[in-house]
Amino acid sequence: MSDPSAPGGPPAKGLSRMRTESSSSVSDSSPKSTTSARGSPVASRGSPVGASRGRGASTSVRSGDVSPSLSSSSSPGQQGLPSSHSGSEIERSGRPLPKAGTPSSSSASSLPASSVSSSQAASSVSRRTSMSNNIRKLQSTFESSPSNDPQPSPVAASSSSPSSSASSSPSVVRMTSTPKSSTSSSPVTIAKSTTPATSSPIKTGPSRSPAPARPVSVHAALKSGTFDVDDLHKSREAVALEVSDTEWRPFSSQAVAIHSFKANGPCQVSFTVGDKLKIQERIAGWYKGIVLSNGKKGIFPMSFVHLCVINEKDRDTVSEELVNASWEWTGLLKSYFRDGKMQEFNSLKNRLNLLMELYYSIKSNDTEEAVKLQLRHQAIEKIEEVKRLLGLDLIVRLPSGDNCNESNTPIIKMLKLHQDASKREKGPKKELAKRRQKSPTCGILFDLKIFACSVGEPTQVFISLWHPEKGFLSDEFTVNLTIQGMPTDLDKIGNIKTLFKDINTADLPGSYLFARLIKIGKIDKKAKTDYRRPLGGAILPIPEVLNEREIEFTMPVFTVRNEADFWNIPNLIIRQKDVSLIQKAKGIIVGLSQYDVESDSFYRITSQPTNKRGFPEVILPGMSRNDLFITLDSGEFPEGKTFEIGVSVRLDDGEVLPDCIKLGSGEAILSEYRSFVYYHNNQPHWNECINLVIPPNIFERCHLFFTIRVSSSGSTRDYGYAFLRLTKEDGTITDDGVHPIQVFKHPKVVEDPLYYLNDPSKITFIRGGSLQISTYLSSTILTQNSSMYALLKWQKHQNKLPELLNRFTFVEKFEIVKFFQETFNAMFQILDSKIEGVKTLVYDAIVFVIGIITDEKTTRFTNFKPVLETYISKHFHGRTAHTDLLECLTNYIENMSNKPQQVLPSLKALRFLFQFIIQSLRLEKSDHPDFSKLKPHFHNLFQSFNQFMSKTDPTLIGAQTLCLKNLNNWLEQLTEVFTTQELANICSSFINSVNNDSKSKISITKLDMMCTIIKAPLFNDKPARTIVSK
């Protein structure tokens, strides 16, 4: 068994927490102590143990009676534990201890209990008579020894061991106070050592011991006559007593070295008196931290340092609260487990794990400061969430994470913060439900656990989300299995998972998980080639109640009675028509769970992603997707044979483009797709989709080439060919929809392999032979709209820019939103080019795009507002746009009285126009942007607003109401241009200019606007509040 006092490291893991309660065997009249075989002072079973173990003589003082007793000093070669290691720890570590009642002895020999009792009885009178003398000597010793100068330790008045007088080791004062209630707790012994306990050997001979660790507090208590052991629990030794766990725990603090320490073991760090240290973790008697003077890391004893009060500016309050919350809720976690409350246990455990991940990410040196700020906000939200669940009081905080109080927050702002916190506390469940309802998308995590279907041939499994009316909601997830039903990729064994991303939550009701099975083998005994053939299918209704906790399901596998109906197998299974169970198939066992895209656990999923079939609800700036989906619907041929369709992508020089066809996510990309085959069917229906992944820069050079093959008499030959251009003559992509394609055959002599493109007159079509395919483009790079395409390629059409900008407003809104980043980039490039006659048209187009995103009454794209703000802050590059935007905006505002309807779009977009203007000035002079030159322009704008608001024309009420509703939003964008007092003056002038007709509807809007101003940050500033209130 390991020795807990072994040198060079913290206590062994097996050491348990020190006991502070005594056993019933302790006698009030005779404190018992023993000495271990190694000579260290060790508490007997049931006896109180001091917080520090001294080397040399020690004095024990009890409340009411004091008796000096000297313990034998350690041998010169003895290695000691840090001061926090008590005798009870050594007792529990397995070292044999003398039995209770055995007197102290350097040889650790046992004496009869009767002799011990007589000895104790004989000394009881002397103990009581010497109590006052000992206290007076302690007082005089501390008064004569300043705390900062090294002095010898006070020596006990009398000795019970002759060896102690000869020992020159530093002596120890040991005081024991017995509580009045002897039945509730045992005496607590606190040892005051003049030198900290270390793992170095104790040297013999005369030596000058260092200064006592904390003599001032003891001296003050003795001198005032108010000495109490409870006061010493706040000392450094008491801290070491409390921290007696056997595992390292996070602990953030700063300390100063009060003694020099020399590393004499692994992982230890040396320092000298006065060095400052940053503590990161703690364990019983030891700290782990960094010496700030040299940056070295390691562990060191607690007794060598003194904890300092951290400056409030340097404190990381969020990290401290994470540590405190983890310590507090860990105990609650244990009680949940002990009481069998597994649901509460799992819920709290997951949240604690997340809190610890956040803590280590915040403390990591590799985490950027901007990311740390986001993590701190996230940690605060999670702490408040747990407190609400536990019914605890919530702490009102500032955005920085600090506690809100009168010293750091104005009284008005503090009131608002308390009101907001009260609202959150009243209905957390309703808010959470509302948040989930607002979340437009979610993720479905699929896990293929067991494929219990005896096929006897290699099998392909295609998993997707499918709706009876809307069709495929997602792409297909492909899994290739061997004859034994195991994945062909051995790394996927036990890990066949995918996350269906960006699924619209509104589409989930009534949708299904659909599994399509294709087997690979010979079509008959004569065949020499393996073909893909229909096998069966399985569907599973998506449960209405699905959350992050995985639920297992078994999907029964069906097959169609008529092979030609395989393309429609999901509908047939739902109606239970013309399908039957595969007898040898026990089913497909799968696991499903649903994740909210706003949850933290969603972003920790590392499984293979499977995209939505189409665009997500929100397209973020920088998102790149370029997929063209080709669905092979059906074919018609004059002969009833076994047909196979091969699809490849060819360039304009006839070369086949390699690795550009995907059957689904999860498997390798192909150069040629081969359809599954029906046996002797001249009108096959496939309904199988493939995804073309073609680089955008060569898209115009590509076309689809179809090879129709027929299998007969065990061989395969080409039957015919077909092709489809992917782009139109103007450069746009082929329109979505159904495309019928005629099948042709090659002439006997082919000189030009691309004759069907270069000379269509040479094509010989097969009568009655045709294919029908469907296309669907999902791209943020390529477009099918000619006006959008021309605008994005405006450099080629500069002479037609006015016409292009006028046609732009007729482009479909979704197409504009899909390319809104590219659209803004093109428009601001046009402004920077200073082309004459297009400035106002470009301004109108910018306002039109902003209106699509911001107008809540006429658009469904309001969830793109954060996306627009992200674009302005991170992706906008118009360095000179502020001058053109201000000029056009001023012209509209000055003429708003004459043409109010024309200025309404500008008023609705004014908030984002201000953001564009200010960001443009930042980009022009990134080092020191001069916002003062914008002040005259904005002053003129608001003067025009004031003149407009003073008019009483009834036809202007709509525009005036819009100005009142948006004033606060406008002012918030100008905080970098104007001071708070200047904004208050602008606001006051605007309010005073409004017509005060009490009968007008605008008066009600004015009152609402004033309430909004009171709740705004502008009203928190006292001078601004005074100006606005006038």
pLDDT in tens, 617-663: 767 666 778 889 999 999 999 887 889 999 999 998 889 999 999 98
Of the candidates 219, 290, 218, 224, the one whose C-alpha atom is nearest the C-alpha of residue 257 is: 290
Judge whether residue 19 has pLDDT over 60. no
The two three-digit tokens of residue 999, written as one number: 């009968």
Q: Alpha carbon of 776 to those of 11, 304, 625, 666, 668: distances in Å?
A: 67, 72, 13, 21, 22
Share of the chain above pLDDT 70, in %: 71
pLDDT-derived band at 301 (thresholds 50, 70, 90) equals very high
Mean pLDDT of 768-792: 90
Tell me: the pLDDT tens digits for 965-1020?
888 788 888 888 888 888 888 888 888 888 766 556 777 788 888 888 877 777 77
What is the pLDDT at residue 78? 35
Alpha carbon 603 to its chain's center: 7
Which tops the pLDDT comparison, 317 or 842?
A: 842
Which tops the pLDDT comparison, 252 or 451?
A: 451
Which tops the pLDDT comparison, 238 or 575?
A: 575
What is the pLDDT at residue 573? 94
Cross-strand partners of 673: 647
Three-class DSSP category at 757: helix
Helices (H), 225-262: 229-232, 236-242
What is the pLDDT at residue 562? 92
pLDDT-derived band at 709 (thresholds 50, 70, 90) equals very high
Phi, psi dihedral angles at 346 (to 5 degrees): -65, -40
pLDDT-derived band at 65 (thresholds 50, 70, 90) equals very low
pLDDT-derived band at 422 (thresholds 50, 70, 90) equals low
What is the pLDDT at residue 68? 35
**Averaged confidence pLDDT in the chain:** 73
The two three-digit tokens of residue 559, written as one number: 């097959």
Contact 1029, 984 (CB under 8 A): no
Q: Structure pTM?
A: 0.57
What is the pLDDT at residue 880? 85
Q: Spell out where 50-195 has E strands.
A: 58-62, 65-68, 172-177, 188-193
Judge whether residue 16 has pLDDT over 50. no
Which tops the pLDDT comparison, 4 or 801?
A: 801
Crossing angle for the helix pair 820-833 and 881-894, to the nearest 10 degrees: 90
Judge whether residue 455 has pLDDT over 50. yes
DSSP 8-state assignment for residue 617: S
The two three-digit tokens of residue 876, written as one number: 């906008």
Contact 964, 1006 (CB under 8 A): yes
Residues 6+ apart with CB under 8 A from 323: 250, 251, 252, 359
Backbone CA torsion sign across 856, 861, 863, 864: negative
Judge whether residue 156 has pLDDT over 80. no
Instruction: State the DSSP H helix or E strand holding residue 961, giving kind and residue range, or none if neither.
Output: helix 957-972
First-to-final CA distance of the chain: 81
Contact 416, 1015 (CB under 8 A): yes
pLDDT-derived band at 559 (thresholds 50, 70, 90) equals very high
The two three-digit tokens of residue 188, written as one number: 């607590």
Judge whether residue 831 has pLDDT over 70. yes
From its phi and psi, is residue 684 left (phi > 0), alpha (psi between -120 and 50) or beta? beta
Instruction: State the DSSP H helix or E strand holding residue 286, giving kind and residue range, or none if neither.
Output: strand 286-291
Which of 344-353, 418-427, 791-800, 841-850 is predicted with the least confidence, judged by mean pLDDT?
A: 418-427
Judge whether residue 713 has pLDDT over 50. yes
Three-class DSSP category at 429: helix
Mean pLDDT of 532-546: 90
Structure-token match 């449960």, residue found: 543
Which tops the pLDDT comparison, 797 or 242?
A: 797
pLDDT-derived band at 449 (thresholds 50, 70, 90) equals very high
Q: Give the CA-trace dihedral at 873, 875, 879, 882, to 10 degrees.
A: -50
Crossing angle for the helix pair 1022-1029 and 980-993, to the nearest 10 degrees: 10
What is the pLDDT at residue 518? 95
Tell me: the pLDDT tens digits for 783-817?
888 889 888 888 888 888 888 898 888 888 888 88
What is the pLDDT at residue 646? 95
CA angle 849, 855, 861 (to 5 degrees): 70
What is the pLDDT at residue 165? 32
What is the pLDDT at residue 1000? 65
Residues 6+ apart with CB under 8 A from 691: 475, 627, 628, 629, 630, 661, 662, 663, 664
Contact 498, 609 (CB under 8 A): yes
Judge whether residue 1024 has pLDDT over 90. no
Contact 693, 480 (CB under 8 A): no
DSSP 94-118: T---PPTTPPP-TT-----HHHHHH
